[in-house]
Amino acid sequence: MPVRMPEGFDSKITSVSAGLLHTTFLTEDGDVLSGNRGDDIVSGAGGDDRLKGGTCNDTLLGRDGDDRFNGGWANDKLDVDTSDDRLSGGRGHDDLDGGDGDDRLNGGWGADNFVFNGGRDAIRNFDPGCDWWFWSHPGDQITIDIEGFDNFDDVIANASQEGQNTVIEFNEDDSLTL
Question: What is the Cβ-side half-sphere exposure of residue 142, based on CA atoms within 13 angstroms?
Answer: 25
Helix (H) / strand (E) containing 59: strand 59-61
Bridge partner residues of 95 (DSSP): 77, 113
CA angle 169, 171, 176 (to 5 degrees): 35
Confidence of residue 157 (pLDDT cuts 50, 70, 90): very high
State the average pLDDT over residues 134-148.
87
State how far the Cα of 61 lies from the Cα of 46, in Å rounded to an integer.
11
> Is pLDDT above 60 for 136?
yes
pLDDT tens-place string over residues 111-121? 999 999 899 99
- What's the pTM? 0.78
